[in-house]
Amino acid sequence: LAEQFANNPFDPGHPYSQPILWRDGGIYQIIDGECRWRAMKQIGTKKFEAIVYDNLEDAEQARKMAAMGMVGTDTKRHLSAIEKSRGVQTALDLDIPDEAIAPLAKTDAQGLSKMRRARTIVDDAAEDMSLLRLISIGEFADDPDAVEALTNCKESEYYDIVRSLERDRKRKETLSIIKSALEEAGVEIVDEKPEGYAYECMLRFEEDLEKEHD
C-alpha cells in the first residue's frame, strides 16, 4: 500500500479513498483505514484528508458502504487481489448479508462459507491472502497437511499446490470407486502384487485419468 500511495499520480503520498474517522471528543478514532494510515506513516505523509463523523453509528454505516464499494466498483481496479480480499473480509466482519457480498466477490454462498472457515484456521494470516487462496484453504480444511502447505506457501505458489492436491484427491476418489466395484464383483484386493502378475495396466489407467482430468 505504501508503494501504491507513493506512486499515486492523482495525489502522491495519499490513498485513492479517504479513511473514515469518528470524532470521540478530542480523539479521532479510525473506523475504516488503519492499513492506509500505517502505509502513509511509512512513506512520511504528514497530513491526509478523511471523512469524519461525530456519530459512531453513522461512521459504522459509512464503513459498511466503503467495504461494499471496495469490492464492487470498477474504480477500484487498481487494487491488488489481496487488497480486494481485505475488502471482502471487512464486509464479512460487518455482517453484511452474503447475498450482497457474493456477486461482488465473484463467488457464491458456498465460497464465502469456505472463506469464513479458512479465516478461522489461519487467523490473522488471512489479511495477506487472496480470496481464491482462502477459498482453497476452506476447501481442504479437513486435511491438516494441505492446510499447512497452502498457508505457508507464497501467494504465487498456492495455485500449483491446489492443482496437485486436487489431482491427488481425484485419484484417491477414483481408486476408491474401483475398489468398491471390484469388491462387489467378488474380486479379491491384495496389498502386494501376486506372483506372475503385473500392474502396468493400472499405471496406464492412472496416467490416462490424470490426462483426462487436466
pLDDT over 90 at 208, yes or no: no
Is the pTM value of this prediction over 0.75? no
Residue with cell 491526509: 48
pLDDT digits (tens, 9 = 90+) for 17-45: 889 999 999 999 999 888 889 999 999 99
Class of residue 173 by CB neighbours under 10 A (exposed 0-12, middle 13-18, buried 19+) = exposed
Task: Return d(Cα 148, Cα 115) in angstroms, integer.
Answer: 16
More confident residue, 209 or 63: 63
Q: Contact 151/125 with Cβ under 8 angstroms?
A: yes
Q: Cα 167 from chain centroid? A: 21
pLDDT over 50 at 75, yes or no: no
Reported as a pLDDT band with limits 50, 70 and 90, residue 74 is very low
C-alpha cell, 156: 504465487
